[in-house]
């Protein structure tokens, strides 16, 4: 039987400092139920992998990349209150720069929008700041995020 190419795994393995995990293995146990993935092709804890690296040290880093449908879905699991918008905006800015400079293979297969998954309820009341997130292709969703095949 010929196995279909896993473009997500190939892109992760070609990206310096990242560690590929089977399935949702990169997600912490408390967050695995926040994301439902059909045809999961693996995952990466971007935040953990890059926390001590020059490219990510002292930066607001995005949480995860999850592979499905030969695409990379970028997922930030975070509280969703108005006070969190600036932090998530910084993380999205960082993610876009990092993809262009250090992770071109993942950038080529990225799925837009980037997802901000609320850890619990959503209480966001600043339309201007939410508009800024929209320009960065960030979509705020309640959990669970469902990625369909």
The per-residue pLDDT for range 35-49, each reduced to its tens digit, is 999 999 999 999 999
- Structure pTM? 0.94
Q: According to the model, what pLDDT value does residue 3 have?
A: 59
Q: Which two tokens stand for residue 31?
A: 């967050």
Hey, how many other C-beta atoms are within 10 angstroms of the C-beta on 81? Answer: 14
What is the model's pLDDT at position 2?
A: 54
Strand partners of residue 66: 43, 73
> What is the percent of the chain where pLDDT is above 90?
81
Give the Cβ contact number of residue 124 at 10 Å.
Answer: 17
Domain ranges in the chain? 7-147
∠ CA 57-117-84, rounded to 5°: 60
Which parts of the chain sit beneath pLDDT 70?
A: 1-3
């Amino acid at each position: 039987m010929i196995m279909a190419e896993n473009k997500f795994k190939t892109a992760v393995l070609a990206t310096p400092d990242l560690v590929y995990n089977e399935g949702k293995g990169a997600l912490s146990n408390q967050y695995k139920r926040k994301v439902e993935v059909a045809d999961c092709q693996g995952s990466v804890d971007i935040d953990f992998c890059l926390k001590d690296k020059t490219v990510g040290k002292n930066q607001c880093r995005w949480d995860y990349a999850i592979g499905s449908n030969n695409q990379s879905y970028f997922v930030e699991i975070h509280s969703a209150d108005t006070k969190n918008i600036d932090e998530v905006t910084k993380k999205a800015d960082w993610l876009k720069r990092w993809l262009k400079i250090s992770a071109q293979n993942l950038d080529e297969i990225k799925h837009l929008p980037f997802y901000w998954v609320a850890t619990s309820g959503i209480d966001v009341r600043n339309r201007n700041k939410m508009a800024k997130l929209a320009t960065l292709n960030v979509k705020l969703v309640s959990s669970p995020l469902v990625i369909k095949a």
